[in-house]
Amino acid sequence: MRPLFHPAIEDVQPEAILHALSDPRRAAIFARITKAGCVEACSAVSSVGDQVIPKSSLSSHFKVLREAGLIRCERHGVEMRNHSRCAEVEARFPGLLSAIMNAYAARLS
Amino acid sequence: MRPLFHPAIEDVQPEAILHALSDPRRAAIFARITKAGCVEACSAVSSVGDQVIPKSSLSSHFKVLREAGLIRCERHGVEMRNHSRCAEVEARFPGLLSAIMNAYAARLS
DNA sequence: TCCATAGTTCCGAAATCCCGAACTATGGGA
DNA sequence: TCCCATAGTTCGGGATTTCGGAACTATGGA
């Protein structure tokens, strides 16, 4: 299996990050990966809140996060390990990710 | 003409803001309004960079920004005045807008 | 070799975006 | 008052994107 594409940090674009995180489910997935540092599998986040996400949709959400430069994915055996690239992104766009994640956390709903 | 809908600041959702600003043209429009405090008309921003935006598209971009809670629009005679709501949004989601606008400004391309 | 698990790809339906054309609203003449 | 010009919205339908079930691929273990 060919290695997955990951953009270099200098190629990461703000619009891609905003688009990726403008979906609350993707934002929740990213928050979980970031909090855990590394979530072992896509299937480890097979639901967000009480909402079950079909695995084809989940796969494309991970792809969007990966191509936006937010996570790094590598296969370990039969499963995928997803790492947050928040430190890199923070260096390139200071304050962006924390402000976004705080905004979601601050939401009442 | 009935007054335009504006969400109360407590109803403003992070995903709506991220979606609105994930389009570079909308982000540029919002930046211009914010910088100016108040841009007199939609037609005053009829192009972004060297790219001309048709007025039907422009109208819908303003609608997205307005419904996301980012701007306030009121008719003055034949034209519209658009005000940035950045102070309100800043109070609700601290650091969010400045981080986003800085991210766009930091982009090389 | 066969099977189970973990993800990806495919594809059709649904939703969204885009923009030209037609329409509406307002104010300024004549 | 009537007509026109300007400013912006709405409509319609074609293009693009998103969603998710079903089929497929990749890996490791029995």
B74 touches strand D (CB under 7 A): no
**How is residue B79 written in tokens?**
């034209």
Q: What is the mean pLDDT of residues B91-103?
A: 98
The verdict on residue B4 lying in a domain is no
Please give the residue range of the domain that contains residue A83: 12-106
Instruction: Provide the shortest C-alpha distance from residue A58 to chain B (in Å).
Output: 18
Chain C: bases < 7 Å from a protein Cβ: 4-10, 17-22, 24-28
At A12 the three-state DSSP class reads coil
CATH of the domain at B49: 1.10.10.10
Using C1' positions and the CA of A1, the closest nucleotide is D26
pLDDT digits (tens, 9 = 90+) for B25-74: 999 999 999 998 888 787 778 888 889 999 999 999 999 999 999 999 99
Place of tokens 């939401």: A107
Which of B33, B8, B30 lies closest to B18 in space, CA to CA?
A: B30
Contact of B59 with chain A, judged by CB distance below 8 Å, is answered with no
Q: What is the mean pLDDT of residues B5-34?
A: 97
The verdict on residue B22 lying in a domain is yes
Q: Which residue has the higher pLDDT, B82 or B38?
A: B82
Q: Do A19 and B22 touch (CB under 8 A)?
A: yes
The verdict on residue B27 lying in a domain is yes
The verdict on residue B17 lying in a domain is yes
Number of domains in chain A: 1
A53 touches strand D (CB under 7 A): yes
Question: What pLDDT sits at residue A1?
Answer: 55
Which of A70, A87, A88, A66 lies closest to A3 in space, CA to CA?
A: A66
The verdict on residue A97 lying in a domain is yes
B65 touches strand D (CB under 7 A): no
Q: Phi/psi at A4 (nearest 5 deg)?
A: -75, 150
Find the radius of gyration of the CA atoms of chain A.
13
**How is residue A87 written in tokens?**
């430190």
CA–CA gap between residue B82 and residue B42 (Å, rounded): 8
CA–CA gap between residue B105 and residue B109 (Å, rounded): 10
Alpha helices (H) along chain B = 14-21, 24-36, 55-67, 86-92, 96-106
Question: What pLDDT sits at residue B29?
Answer: 96
Is residue B1 scored above 60 in pLDDT?
A: no
CA distances (Å), origin B9, targets A44, B40, B66, B86: 35, 23, 12, 11
Is residue B19 scored above 90 in pLDDT?
A: yes
A63 touches strand C (CB under 7 A): yes
Q: Which residue has the higher pLDDT, B99 or B50?
A: B99
Beta bridge mates, B73: B82
Question: What pLDDT sits at residue B2?
Answer: 64
**pLDDT tens for each residue of chain A, 109 residues long:** 567 999 999 999 999 999 999 999 999 999 999 998 888 787 778 788 889 999 999 999 999 999 999 999 999 988 899 999 999 999 999 999 999 999 999 986 5
Q: Which residue has the higher pLDDT, B76 or A40?
A: B76
CA–CA gap between residue A81 and residue A40 (Å, rounded): 5
